Structure 1
Amino acid sequence: MKLLIVDDEPIILEGLVKVIKDAAPLGTEVREAGNAFEALEVMKGFMPDVTVTDLHMPEKNGFELMEEAKGNGLCKRFIILTGYDEFEYVRRALRSGVVDYLLKPLDKDEIANLLALIDEELPSEADSDCERHTKRILAYTQTNFMNDLSLDHLADLMNLHPNYISSLFKKVTGDTFINYLNAFRIKEAQKLLRTHRHLSVSEVGRRAGFENKHYFTKVFKKYTGITPGAYRETDDMDNIEVDSKESC
C-alpha cells in the first residue's frame, strides 16, 4: 500500500509519520508533504492508494486538496485529520467521499485498524480500476492511432492524470506509451504495405499516423530493421516483426 501524509505543521507532520509508519500494514510505503500544493506534486509520481490529510491548511485546505486530487485521478481515498470536533466538518468530509474522519491527537490502534481494512480492500478494487481504465485507453489508442495522440490528450479525454496513464501503460504492456503507440502504428503500416501496393510510402505513413515521410521511414527502420520501401520489396514480409523493446 502507498500512503501519503499531509500536514502544514512540521512537528505534527513528523509525529504523524512516526505513528502511522508504526501502525501501517507491513510493506506500506509512506511519503509526506507539508501542504496541499506539495502533496499534489508528490501524488503525480507516487500515486498513493490513500492520503491522510489535515483539513485546516493555508492557501489550499484539505477539501480543496481532495477535490483536485480526485479530479486529476491522483488519489481517491482520503482519511481526514483535524483538531476540530464539529459535526459540520464531519458531514462535509463524508460528503467528499473520505474513508474516515479522525481527530487529533491520532490514536495508534484506531489508525492501525483503519489502514488494515483499507489494505484488505485494495487488491480487488485496484485491479478492477486498472482493468477498466486499461480497456478504455487501449481501445481508444488502437482506434485512433492515425491521429495526433499524446499522454496529455488521453489524460484530458479520460479525466485521468498523464502520469497515471504512463504507469498504467508500463504495467499492462511492459512498455512506454510512445513505444507502444509507435509499434502499433508500424504494424498497421506493414499491413498497408502488404495489401495496398498502389499507395505511396508517404501515404502509408500518413494513414499509420506519421505526417512526415522522413520521420516515418526513420521510425519504421528503427522498429523493423529496414525501410518501408525495402520491406515492400522483400519476399519474406511475414517474418519481419516489430521489435518495440529494441527501440527503447
Structure 2
Amino acid sequence: MIKTLIVDDEPNIREGLKIVIEWEKLGFQVVGEAASGVEALRKIEELQPAVVITDVKMPKMSGLELAAECVKKELNISFIILSGHGEFSMAKQALNLGVNDYLLKPVDEDELTEALIKLKKDKFSSISRHHSEPIYLQAQFDQLLSSNRERELPEIKRLFKIDNQISFYYVIVDSRGNIPVDTIKGLIQKTLPSNSTISLKKHMCGSYGFMIHSTMLKDYNHSINIYLMDLISFVYKETLKEVSIYLGTKKRNLYELKDSMDEAVIASVHRYYRESGIIIDYNNIQHLDFCDEYSETQYIDDILNGVLDRDRGEVTRSINNLVNYFLDQYLSAHIIYLHLNRLLNRVLESVQKLGGDSEKIIHKADFIIKRESQIYLYSLPNKIEGLMDVVLNIINKLKNKSSLGLELKEYIDVNFRENLSLKCVADKFNVNPAYLGQVFKKETGTSFNSYFHTLRLNEASKLLLQSNIKIYEVAQSVGYMDVNYFMKKFERQFSTTPKQYRKNYNKSIKI
C-alpha cells in the first residue's frame, strides 16, 4: 500500500477525501492528516508517506511552500495539489517543484481517482526499476500485509529474495519507545545475512514488525527461537535497553504472512503480564483467554482507606493485593483500566471533599487517563504507589491545614500577653494572613482579633477580682500598654468600667 498524507486547513475536506475515495482498492493507505504545512512537515517526518495531497492556501505554510521544503530536504515524495480557482496561477508554479498533479476545487471524485491511478502507474511503476528504493520496498511490504488479495507476489518475492521452498514468520520487536526505529532496523540487519532485505511496519508505540524467512536463519540452525534470543541479547549489548519479541506462527504460503502478523499482534496483547526482554510466542498463548468481565473489588476501597488513614504500609499491601488480583483473574487490559479509573475517581472525590487541588494527581495519573499502551503488571505497583504518594502528600497537607486554626488558638492562649497581630503570627506559621484568618474563624467560630482581645479581657477581669493591683497594672499584665485603650475595650465587653466591675464584685461578697 502507498502511504498517503492529506493536508488541508478545512476539516470537512480532509474527512470527505478519506471517505469518497476507495483508497485501499487503489493501492493507497491514508496514514494521517494535517491542518497546515507546518503540521504536515512533522507528520511527514513521523509517518514517512510516499504521497501528499495538499491544499495550496493554508495558514503558516502554504502547500507550495510545503512542497518546496520537501524538495529542499531531498524527500522523495509525490505531491498532488488542490487549488481553488483564484490560485490557479499559483498551482502552475508547482510544476517547477516537481508536483505530480493539481486539481481544482471543489475536488471531483473521479478526477482525484484518475490522478491517483496515473500517479501509481507513472511514479511507482518507474521506481520498480530501482528495487533498492526504500519507498517502493515499503509500499510492497505494506501491500503484502494488507487484506488486498491482488498482491503482486512475484515482485514481492523478488524484492525480498524469496523462493518457493521456504517458510515465513512475522516478528514484532517492542522497545517500549526507548529505541529509535532506524536503530532497531540497523540492529536487526546486523543479526541477519548481509544480503537480507528488511522492511519494518509500525505497530503500537515503540514496536515494529518485520518478515523473516527460513533462509535468513541458516546461521541459527534454522531455529527462529535461537535467532530471536540472539537478537534480544545483541540489542541489549548495543543499547543497554531490553526489547520484547512477539512471534506469529510459521507459514508456508506468503499469502498467509498477514495471518502470522495478526497472531504476533495478539501475542503482543499479553505483554501486560510479562516482563521485558522475553519472547511471547503465539503458539504458547493462543489457549489463554483474558477475563473480560468487570466486578468491583474490595482492594480499591482498602487502598483508599489506607490513604485517608495516612497508613503507607496498608496502602502498599492493598496495591499489591490489587495487582495480584489482576494476575489471578488474568484480566484484559480494558478491565484493568476500568479498575484503575475507579481507583482514580475515588481518590479525586476524596481529595476534593477535603478541599484539595487535584491537578497534581491528574498529572501523575497520566498513565491511567491516557490509557498508556506500555503499562505492564510487573511495574504497575510502582506506578500506583507513585500516584498514591502524591495523594498522601496532598492529604497530609490538608490534614495539617485543618488543624492550623487550632494550633493558632493554642499559640494565642500561651502568648496573648505579647503584642500579637494576625500578620506577625501568619509570618510565624508561614501562611498568608488572610488565609490564616479564614481558617481560624472557620474552626473557632470567631475572628482572630475578637478571640485575642476577649482572652486578654477575661484574664484582666480575673485579676481585678483576685488582686488589689492598680488598673493600669492590670492592663499591662494582660498586654495593654495604653490604659485608656484597655478601659474602652473592657467597658465594651463588660458594659462597665474596670473600677466599677471590681466595686460591684466586692459589694456582692459583703451581701
Question: What TM-score results when the alignment is normalised by the length of structure 2?
Answer: 0.27
Q: CA deviation at 1:93?
A: 1.4
| Equivalent pair of 2:23/2:29 in contact (CA under 8 Å) | no
**Structure 1 residues 83 and 74: CA distance shift in structure 2, 3 A:** same
Equivalent residue, structure 2, for 1:11: 12
Spell out the pairing of 1:165-244 with structure 2 (5 A cutoff): 176-177=185-186
| Equivalent pair of 1:25/1:112 in contact (CA under 8 Å) | no
Report sequence identity in percent: 36
**Structure 1 residues 51 and 32: CA distance shift in structure 2, 3 A:** same
| Equivalent pair of 2:83/2:91 in contact (CA under 8 Å) | no
| Equivalent pair of 1:44/1:74 in contact (CA under 8 Å) | no
Deviations 1:30-69 (A, max 9, x none): 0211111221111112221211000101111111111112
Task: Give the whole-Å Cα distance in 2 for the aligned partners of 1:25 and 1:119.
Answer: 12
Task: Give the whole-Å Cα distance in 1 for the aligned partners of 2:133 and 2:33.
Answer: 29
| Equivalent pair of 2:56/2:87 in contact (CA under 8 Å) | no
Equivalent residue, structure 2, for 1:44: 45
Moved over 6 A (4+): none
**Structure 1 residues 129 and 46: CA distance shift in structure 2, 3 A:** farther
Task: Give the whole-Å Cα distance in 1 for the aligned partners of 2:71 and 2:130.
Answer: 14
**Structure 2 counterpart SS, 1:48:** coil
**Structure 1 residues 75 and 58: CA distance shift in structure 2, 3 A:** farther
**2:234 matched to 1:247?**
yes
Equivalent residue, structure 1, for 2:29: 29
Task: Give the whole-Å Cα distance in 2 for the aligned partners of 1:45 and 1:54.
Answer: 20
**Structure 2 counterpart SS, 1:176:** helix
Q: CA deviation at 1:12?
A: 2.2
| Equivalent pair of 1:80/1:100 in contact (CA under 8 Å) | yes
Q: CA deviation at 1:75?
A: 4.4
Equivalent residue, structure 2, for 1:84: 85
Q: CA deviation at 1:78?
A: 0.4
Q: CA deviation at 1:178?
A: 5.3
Task: Give the whole-Å Cα distance in 1 for the aligned partners of 2:126 and 2:51.
Answer: 13
| Equivalent pair of 1:23/1:108 in contact (CA under 8 Å) | no
What stretches of structure 1 of length at least 5 have no aligned partner?
134-165, 184-242
| Equivalent pair of 1:47/1:75 in contact (CA under 8 Å) | no
Output the aligned Cα RMSD: 3.3
Count of matched residue positions in the alignment of Structure 1 and Structure 2: 153
Paired AA for residue 111 in structure 2: E
Paired AA for residue 247 in structure 1: F
**Structure 2 counterpart SS, 1:51:** strand
Equivalent residue, structure 2, for 1:108: 109
